[in-house]
Structures are given as structure tokens and as C-alpha cells.
């Protein structure tokens, strides 16, 4: 079974924003994880990342990110977990 690691909004944002203080490390970690065969897991809240990029960066960056994400999902390098009420309850139980 392939290893999986969660990528949240700020991980995606750091990858997209070259001026972000964590951009270089985000790029390095992303490359290393993919080279090592990890699958990046994110949630259907990836739209939050798109919105953040749209307003903090620009429409072009947000669109490019969305298209890249869709290609990575198709190539099975990114898995999108559809968060629902069950997931929310489980996360609260783990507090």
C-alpha cells in the first residue's frame, strides 16, 4: 500500500505563492514526497485553497492551481477525500 500524507490549504498556498516564507520548503517537500511515491491527500475543501489564491494572488494562479490539482487527481498522485458529517464527528472525537 502506498504511503499517504495530508496536504492542507496552507501547504497548497505555500506551493503557489513564490513570495510565501514557506514556498521553498513546500516545493522541496512536495518534490521529495512525490519522488518517494507518496500520495497527497486533501479534502473537497480544496476549493478553499482556490479561493484563497484567487483573492491573495490572482485569478490566473487560482485557475492554474485548480487545473493542476485535477490533473494530479486523474494521475492518482492526489486523492480527494469528501468530508462529511461522519468525518467531522471523528475529528472531534480525536481532540
Instruction: Find the CATH number of the domain harbouring 64.
Output: 3.40.50.1010
Number of domains composing the chain: 1
**Structural domain of 36:** 4-93
Alpha-carbon dihedral 62, 65, 66, 70, rounded to 10 degrees? 180
Q: Cell numbers for 62, please give them.
A: 487560482
pLDDT in tens, 15-66: 999 999 999 999 999 999 989 999 999 988 788 999 999 999 999 999 999 9
Cβ(48)–Cβ(13) under 8 Å?
no
pTM above 0.85, yes or no: no
Alpha-carbon dihedral 42, 24, 63, 55, rounded to 10 degrees? 90
87 has pLDDT over 80: no
Q: Cell numbers for 11, please give them.
A: 501547504
Amino acid at each position: 500500500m502506498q504511503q499517504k500524507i495530508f496536504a492542507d490549504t496552507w501547504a497548497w498556498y505555500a506551493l503557489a505563492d513564490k513570495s510565501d516564507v514557506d514556498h521553498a520548503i513546500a516545493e522541496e517537500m512536495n518534490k521529495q514526497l512525490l519522488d518517494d511515491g507518496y500520495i497527497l491527500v486533501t479534502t473537497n475543501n480544496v476549493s478553499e485553497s482556490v479561493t484563497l489564491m484567487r483573492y491573495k494572488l490572482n485569478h490566473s494562479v487560482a485557475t492554474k492551481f485548480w487545473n493542476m490539482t485535477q490533473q494530479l487527481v486523474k494521475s492518482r498522485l492526489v486523492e480527494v477525500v469528501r468530508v462529511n458529517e461522519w468525518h467531522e464527528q471523528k475529528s472531534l472525537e480525536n481532540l
